[in-house]
Amino acid sequence: YDEAIGIISDAQKQFETFGNQLRAAECLQSLGQLYRMQREYDEATEMILKAHKQYEEIGHKQGVADCLSNLGYIYLDQSQYDEAVENFSHAERQYQSIGRIVDVAWCYECLG
């Protein structure tokens, strides 16, 4: 994981330098997922929240929804069920608004 985190962090910084916010946000999201796999939830949350903010700034609705879903999983892993439900519910509504019906169903499964 450490090598992957280093490589993705470097890529994220380069995308920021080039002004490619979408790719930079995708890198932040990947970093969040890697930290979650290592059970480093504070770092995971921080990366996902940064990615969420960037996706919102550029109007990338699927990225916003994906981040909400990722936050739901982070909270679920930590048995913070109210926060997990809140994020999965927000993700479901976001996916619904962009017609991502399979992702809507996935959110329903997580909420169940």
SS3 (DSSP) at 60 = coil
Range of the domain at 101: 1-111
What's residue 109's pLDDT? 94
pLDDT band at 59 (very low <50, low <70, confident <90, very high): very high
The model carries a pTM of 0.93
Q: What does the angle CA 12 – CA 93 – CA 43 come to, to the nearest 5 degrees? A: 35
Helix locations, the chain, DSSP H: 2-18, 21-37, 41-58, 61-77, 81-97, 101-111
pLDDT in tens, 61-78: 999 999 999 999 999 999
Q: Looking at this protein, which amino acid is placed at residue 27? A: C
What's residue 88's pLDDT? 97
What's the structural domain count of the chain? Answer: 1
Residue 8, domain CATH:
1.25.40.10
